[in-house]
Amino acid sequence: MKKMKNMFERHDLLKIVLLGIFLTLVLTWIIPYGYFSGSTFTSNGLGRIGLSDIFLSSIFSTNFFMQQLLFIISVGIFYAILTKVSGYKALVSKIATFFKGKEKVFAIIASLCVTLLTTFLAQTYVVVLFIPFIINIAHELKFDKITAFMCSFGSMLVGILGATYGTEGFVYFVNYLNNYQTVSLTTKIGVRFGILIFTFGLYNFFMIRYIRKVENEKKKEEIEDLFLMEEEKKAKIWPMALFFGILFVFAILGYVNWTENFDITIFEDFHTWLTELKIGDYTVIGYILGNNAKALGTWDLYGITVIMAVLLLLSIIIYRVKLDTVFDGITEGIQKIMKPVLILLFVYIIFVFIYWAPFTITISNWILELSESFNPFLTTISAAISSLFHIDFGYTGFALGSYMASQFGSSFDIGFLIYVVINGLIGFIAPTGAILLLGLSYMNIPYKTWIKNIWKFVLILLTILLFLFVLLSYV
């Protein structure tokens, strides 16, 4: 028993996630689940998740989110090998040296880059590809854990809250709503941009305030970097800088939905031309690229993984990394990234339970029917509970889209805005938040430590957002 207690103390996030799974399971025995057809709610009774379902849920979780899990493992392998490459170490050291004495500037720039990537890219997890790079630099700059988290994973949460054209959850949310009422990624875009700018400013105010506080403390928790770099050796920086530049460009070209968001069709037109280009009677290039090759702007996570693999291979060749070192890096990367991956897998089990027995729809029905007309406060509560359990924001559109379209009426756009923004806000504190727990696990930060440092930001932002929702609803 004592060993079990010590294990949970060491693995705080495991305890949090297991409690989340247990709570969700218990609620399937207490709260009936149902579905909306328009504004009509139909109850299907209790969905009771049993012991056999728990085992099966892990298989479904892996199946539903295989792409994300494999991508995180690939990122782990990528950096485990890369940190043994002399050029990478030289690049990180060069950047860190440049920002010596300007640590706050680096924190703000890193936060801005991560926020913008998250808010514009259609696949959120692509941004994780650049997080270890930022943390490596932060480690060289002697940042503490929380500061490094805030300018990396935490800034992803800012981008999710202020989702403009990106995040897959937001994209799927819009797609599901479109089954019931015409809506687009640009709905309330001006207001959402305003919220993004304000949130970024407030968040960075708290980040700089925290940095100053830590500077005055004699003792601070140093970063426990999963991928510590080998000793620095003299090496050419430009090839590695070029590779990261290419990676960054492909992240933008591959995951900004150019056609739908900005009516730019050049990439889809080029893809069609290239794959249909014939040499004699055969579309040879199309054969080489394969049937699953996609146009820039429509890539899935496998697309950037291929680019990672090619650039990593070039790095190994150019910097003459030994094969034994590469194989050691693969093993090391899998081992080190496995804890965050398992935490993520457990989080997704909660989604599977909700998918099987969506009692959150019943809760939303109880809340929203308390008012005969649209109520921003009740809508905010419904959005918060949905975001806490749904994990995948797109599922909220699937579950509640019918009700929103039929009941919100002329306030539909405001209801849409509330669900999008509150989903992001809950992500900062939710013990079921995928990105939050992935980041905390990666950096070995206890959940309560993060809450202690972020609750004031969340409370202030919630107050301001509620005031905004009221203005939009009644003025």
**Given pLDDT bands bounded at 50, 70 and 90, which one contains residue 7?**
very low
Give per-residue pLDDT as tens, 362-415: 999 999 999 888 999 999 999 999 999 999 999 999 999 899 988 888 899 999
Position 204 scores a pLDDT of 97
Secondary structure, 3-state, 11-53: CHHHHHHHHHHHHHHHHHHHCCCEEEECCEEEECCCCCCCHHH
Phi, psi of 279 (to 5 degrees): -115, 105
Position 284 scores a pLDDT of 74
Position 229 scores a pLDDT of 65
Cα separation, 359 vs 23, in Å, equals 12
Does pLDDT of 2 surpass 90? Answer: no
Element (H, E) at 349: helix 323-356
Does pLDDT of 306 surpass 50? Answer: yes
> How confident is the model over 295-302, as a mean pLDDT?
88
The pair of structure tokens assigned to 211 is 């940095």
Does pLDDT of 1 surpass 50? Answer: no
Give per-residue pLDDT as tens, 82-116: 988 888 999 999 999 999 999 999 999 999 999 99
Pick from 60-64, 319-323, 381-385, 441-445: least confident? 60-64
Query: In this structure, what DSSP letter does residue 128 have?
Result: G
Percent of the chain surpassing pLDDT 70: 95
Burial of 46 (0-12, 13-18, 19+ CB in 10 A): middle
Give per-residue pLDDT as tens, 147-205: 999 999 999 999 999 888 888 888 889 888 888 888 888 888 999 999 999 999 999 99
Runs of H (alpha helix) within 283-411: 284-289, 301-318, 323-356, 359-368, 376-390, 393-407
